[in-house]
Amino acid sequence: MIGWNFPLNNDGENDGLNDAGIETYSGAPIKSLAREVIQNSLDAADDLRTNPVAVNFDLSYFNNNDIPGLNDYKEILNACYHFGKNIEKTKRFFENALDVINRKKIPVLRISDFNTTGLTGAGEEGLNNWNNLIKGNGVSNKHVGAGGSFGIGKQAPFACSNLRTVFYVTKDENGVEAFQGNAKLITHKKANGKKTQGTGYYGIKNGNKPVLNFNDLPGEFYQRENVGTDIYIFAFIENDSWMENIIKSVLEHFLVAIYRNDLIVNVGDKKIDSNNLENFINEYISDDSDYYGDKYYKTLVSDEKFIFEEKNFENLGDLKFYLLPNKNFPKRVAMVRDTGMKIFDKGHFRTPKKFAGVFMAEGENLNELLRKMEPPSHDAWEPVRHPYKDKASKIKDKIYKWLNEKVGSISFDEDAEKVDIDGMSQFLPDELSELSIPGESAEEEKEKKLPENRSISSKKVDVKPTSSSFDLGSEFGDAGDSGSTGGEHGGGGETNNGRYNDESSGGEGEGGSDDDKNGTKPTVTEKPLKLRSARVFSLNPNKGIYVASITANKDAEGFLKFKVVGEDRKDNAPIKKAQITGQKSGDIDITSRGKVGPITLEDGKEVKMILHLSDNVKYSMEVDINES
């Protein structure tokens, strides 16, 4: 017999509306729907080498008597209302559900995929794709490299239904046809007074099995000729922007899959494929600051992008990284796995350069490892979730290090960073570029050849100098900064905007200082000195060579403290050599904490200094100075 059945709960737990899986997607239900459903379809792709997966989203209006088992279902909703009416949220939900089901027309969103294998396993026992979808709770039986691993993505359609009711139709690669309904309601009492579970099924009541013959279906629109799967979301939470929300989600999360022609998405009468992808990006997300998809697309298609590849990374798979510098880009990288779906946007790159990038992890073993690090929302890599968290953490760290190295390897002749104060916004004089660089020779200046296995394109880029304020005295003015015994350093007072001025002062005591080259610990009294101007820019970032120009507002002798500035922190500059123009390199001591000195300064006279860093990462730098 075919109909609705809610199994008895045998006096077990009562199920309420607060289903954890459904609540996961309630914040942005329509955008989440597109992400989860398309991910499942890509996981079930038949053969992407020959045919892209196609996913269609179509909204139509069914007569209410087109709902399978309509009369029985109305009684079930009434029973749920009476059982849970003492809970305000539950009462409101079922009042609305009863109102919806009694309307003559009901909005139904049909999601169909093509060029997939369909949902295999219908009519069989055990864990398989069909049973995991219809009857599984927190169960995933996807193949290695598949998108989901927690089995809760299937709850996204229920979050988009005012009835929490979804029907599934499939024709699998073996020709098996199946149809079944699923409702996520609450515990209620049957006519005999016995309590039920909150999840019910429409199909063959005996065993809650699917209907396996399309001739037994209640309407022709439930049938399908091609292999694939249909999802019908009854009482869809339609609004005027539902199509826009789905399109934006598709563009943001499946940009790579569409770009490489693995996916075609139809939303109503709008078709998104690799041929018109740019048009949709320009129309829907290019002016929306919440989305990075337009930047990632430009990175993929630009002739001036950099391409980095690493074959057989850690014997797991291949890495591919597309990178495009642009002063208007957000310093973000789309982290993408084999399915072509973006997992998250990686930031926190310690470089002043602006860019966008697309990272792709390729290979089953690598993707399986990364997949097991993802939370249910599939928007991060968290090694603690992996069965072998230490191994996962090392792989993640090595991927991040690899990305940072590639970002840091890019340089342009006219690219420079500058630190400025007192409103100065011009570069150093041209003659600085002609200063002799210790350790350089004509041979060393020749352009290095790139490895044959790296394909890199470059362009001439005009980069606006990066301006940064000075925290005068911020490092030396803190108590105990150097970690040695003694009192506090004299320090400038901190103002409301986080900068230091020379009008406030800390207690003057003998502050600890860094170890110098000889291992001694000189004890000095230091106080911050206000500079008239100070500027730093890279002269040869590939070799870690920077130039600083400093002008004091009085005669003084002091120590400079150089810092590299990242997005979320500042660190001591890794300086291995420093030289003042016209002096020998041995005239200046350098500590392990980026402190350089002593430097003699004259009022209004510019001091030019060449710095050699211990690495070749491109940095944005700032400098403090303390008079001793």
Write the DSSP string, 173-192: TT--EEEEEEEE----B-TT
Q: Is 501 left (phi over 0), alpha (psi -120 to 50) or beta?
A: beta
Contact assessment for residue 477 and residue 492, using Cβ atoms and an 8 Å cutoff: yes
Give the pLDDT of residue 614.
Answer: 79
CA distances from 181 to 2, 329, 401, 480 (A): 11, 46, 48, 68
Whole-prediction pTM value?
A: 0.67
Q: Report pLDDT for 89.
A: 95
Q: What is the DSSP letter of 285?
A: T
On the CB side of 386, CA atoms within 13 Å amount to 22
What pLDDT is stored for residue 586 in this prediction? Answer: 52
pLDDT band at 136 (very low <50, low <70, confident <90, very high): confident
Q: Higher-confidence residue: 542 or 22? A: 22
pLDDT mean over 223-249: 94
Mean pLDDT of 42-65: 93
Average pLDDT estimate for 587-605? 74
Q: What is the mean pLDDT of residues 357-364?
A: 96
- pLDDT band with cut points at 50, 70 and 90 for residue 444: very low
pLDDT for the residue 587:
54
Q: Is the pLDDT of residue 522 over 80?
A: no
* Ranges 111-120, 242-251, 263-272, 424-433: which has the least confidence: 424-433
Give 491's pLDDT tier (boundaries 50, 70, 90): very low
The two three-digit tokens of residue 411, written as one number: 């340089």
> CB count, 10 Å around CB of 451?
8
Residue located via tokens 């009022």: 603
Q: Answer for the pair 80, 188: CB distance below 8 angstroms, yes or no.
A: yes
Tens digits of residue pLDDT in 286-345: 989 889 999 999 999 999 999 999 999 999 999 999 999 998 999 999 999 999 999 999
State the pLDDT confidence band at 598, using cuts at 50, 70 and 90.
confident
- Name which of 315, 283, 32 is nearest 153 in CA terms: 32
Domains of the chain: 2-258 (3.30.565), 295-408 (no CATH), 430-437+450-627 (no CATH)
Asked if residue 547 lies in contact with residue 613, where contact means CB atoms within 8 angstroms, the answer is no
Whether 507 has a pLDDT exceeding 60, the answer reads no
CA distance 156 to 24: 8
Res. 601: pLDDT tops 90: no
Name 69's Cβ contacts closer than 8 Å, sequence gap at least 6.
3, 4, 181, 202
Q: Which two tokens stand for residue 558?
A: 């002091």
Beta bridge partners of residue 606, listed in sequence order: 551
Decide: 432 and 347 in contact? Cβ < 8 Å: no
Spatial distance between the Cα atoms of 201 and 184, rounded to a whole number of angstroms? 9
Q: Is the pLDDT of residue 600 over 70?
A: yes
Select the more confidently predicted residue: 504 or 221: 221
Q: Which residue, 448, 360, 345, is CA-closest to 402?
A: 360
Long-range contacts of 136-145 (CB under 8 A, 24+ apart): 138/21, 142/43, 143/43, 144/364, 144/367, 144/368, 145/337, 145/338, 145/339, 145/364, 145/367, 145/368, 145/371
Residue 64 is encoded by which pair of tokens? 């209410």
Tell me, what's the pLDDT at 567? 57
Candidates 231, 280, 230, 232; CA nearest to 254 is 280
Inform me whether the pLDDT recorded for 427 exceeds 50.
no
- The beta-strand segments (E) located in 192-315 are 199-204, 228-234, 263-267, 270-272, 306-313
Q: Which of 65-74, 207-216, 278-287 ranks highest by mean pLDDT?
A: 278-287
Could you give phi then psi for residue 453, rounded to 5 degrees? -85, 5
Percent of the chain surpassing pLDDT 70: 75
> Strand pairing partners for 170?
178, 229
Query: What is the reported pLDDT for 65?
Result: 86
Query: Which pLDDT value is given to residue 461?
Result: 34
Residue 349, token pair as written in the block = 């790159």
Give me the amino acid identity at 457: S
Instruction: Convert 359-411 into a string of H (helix), E (strand) and C (coil).
Output: EEEECHHHHHHHHCCCCCCCCCCCHHHCCCHHHHHHHHHHHHHHHHHHHHCCC
Is it the case that residue 146 has pLDDT exceeding 50? no
Distance between start and end Cα atoms, the chain? 93
How much is the mean pLDDT over the chain? 79
**Closest by alpha carbon to 92, among 100, 81, 102?**
81
Q: How many CB atoms lie within 10 A of CB 401?
A: 10
Q: How many CB atoms lie within 10 A of CB 56?
A: 17
- Gap between the Cα atoms of 342 and 324, Å rounded: 18
In this predicted structure, the answer to whether residue 166 has a pLDDT above a threshold of 80 is yes
Between 325 and 540, where is the model more confident?
325
The lowest-confidence range among 380-384, 393-397, 563-567 is: 563-567
Query: DSSP class of residue 552?
Result: E
